[in-house]
Amino acid sequence: MTIDDDRPQPPPPAHVVGQDLSRLSVAELRARIDLLQAEIGRVEEALRLKDDVRSAADSLFKF
């Protein structure tokens, strides 16, 4: 037994890419879609912000 055995384990992720979906109900699958669509929106926003920074830097250092 190590000292780490006493630490609480983090909850499992809400979705794992490729996991078996056959045991999920229709409601659970719809909730999963909502979760993934929200995550897609979050990633798209992060990408947009990075693109904005890149565009600003490109215009500043363009000769």
Locus of tokens 């979906």: 21
Q: What percent of the chain shows pLDDT beyond 90?
A: 59
- pLDDT, tens digit, for every residue of 1-11? 566 678 888 88
What is the spatial distance between Cα 31 and Cα 15, in angstroms, rounded to a whole number?
A: 11
Query: Across residues 10-34, what is the average pLDDT?
Result: 92
pLDDT value of residue 5 = 76
Task: Count the residues in the chain.
Answer: 63
The arithmetic mean of pLDDT across residues 7-32, rounded, is 91
Distances (CA, A) of 15 to 11, 19, 20, 59: 11, 8, 10, 40
Q: Please name which of 32, 34, 31, 27 lies closest in space to residue 17, comparing C-alpha atoms.
A: 32
Average pLDDT over residues 7-21: 88
List the one residue out of 31, 33, 52 whose CA is nearest residue 41: 33
The residue ranking higher by pLDDT, 1 or 21, is 21
